[in-house]
Amino acid sequence: MASLSKQKKVTRDEREKILRLKHKYENRITVAKHGKECLDAGDYGNALKKFIDYFLILVELKEVKDIYELKVHMFDPKKDLTELLMISHIFFEMARMYDAVPKFQEDSKKCLDQFVHFSANQPYQVVNSEMVRKYLKKSVFKNPDFFRGAYQQIFVQSKKCYIVTFCYGDKHPLTQDFREFKDFLLSSYLGQQFVQHYYRFSSQIVVRYENHIGFKFLTNVFIKPCLVLFSKTLLRAIIKK
């Protein structure tokens, strides 16, 4: 009888825990919004607290140890896309706040690593990289090299080749060849600049014109043949295929 009573108590406790977590989860966006309001008001201490509270709800929900173990694969890429974007921005804002205090430099780097992880290969990748670039242009960081490194890492970790992928798909051998070409370019400063400009403009072109009949015609009669020709000549020599 005592054992049965204990079992019922455990079941009741678990049910209450689930209900508490459900309530937290339903209010998580409100917590994050309060953090943004504090940030906009210059109340950085409370902004950090609210952002961490938001992440701790996700930590409990995803059953990981801390906020730095949250990963993209834990979320639904379609249903949670807006929240994934918000997560990336919160990590970036936390990195900025930690950057302002010397003793929190390690925390700033950890948040930047998470920002990169939640940015690379996502539909909003270019938006996030542009956000970092604009901040770097303003020179607002105490440790700009950290943020410059994050900016470059978004492109290093990315598997996207917008125009090539549009032409041949994500798994085509030619697409893989151009990814290797991207890796080659990223080994030099000028190459990094080229890749960054390519991502910025090619993503805009593909999103804007992917369903346009004229762009599809141009792709078939001009872009595809040029990509094939380049892949069979210079590209093979560069990546030694």
The predicted-structure confidence for 199-222, as pLDDT tens digits, reads as follows: 777 766 766 777 788 878 888 888
Taking the C-alpha atoms of residue 40 and residue 42, their distance in angstroms, rounded to an integer, is 5
The predicted-structure confidence for 45-76, as pLDDT tens digits, reads as follows: 999 999 999 999 999 999 999 999 999 999 99
Helices first, then strands: H and E counts in the chain? 13, 0
Question: Which residue did the predictor score with more confidence, 228 or 187?
Answer: 228
pLDDT at 4 over 50: no
pLDDT at 113 over 80: yes
pLDDT at 41 over 90: yes
Structure tokens given for 228: 């094939």
Cα-Cα end-to-end distance for the chain: 73
Report the candidate in 75, 77, 79, 82 with the shortest Cα–Cα distance to residue 61.
Answer: 75
Q: What is the pLDDT of residue 7?
A: 53
Report the candidate in 159, 158, 156 with the shortest Cα–Cα distance to residue 183.
Answer: 156
pLDDT at 226 over 50: yes
Contact yes or no for 129/154 (Cβ under 8 A) = yes
Structure tokens given for 213: 């009949």
Percent of the chain topping pLDDT 70: 92
The predicted-structure confidence for 115-150, as pLDDT tens digits, reads as follows: 999 999 898 888 898 899 889 988 889 999 999 989
Mean pLDDT score across all residues of the chain? 86
Q: What is the pLDDT of residue 225?
A: 86
Taking the C-alpha atoms of residue 24 and residue 26, their distance in angstroms, rounded to an integer, is 5
pLDDT at 1 over 50: no
pLDDT at 9 over 70: no
Report the candidate in 54, 61, 69 with the shortest Cα–Cα distance to residue 113.
Answer: 69
Q: What is the pLDDT of residue 17?
A: 76
pLDDT at 25 over 50: yes
CB atoms within 10 A of CB 146: 19
Q: What is the pLDDT of residue 45?
A: 95
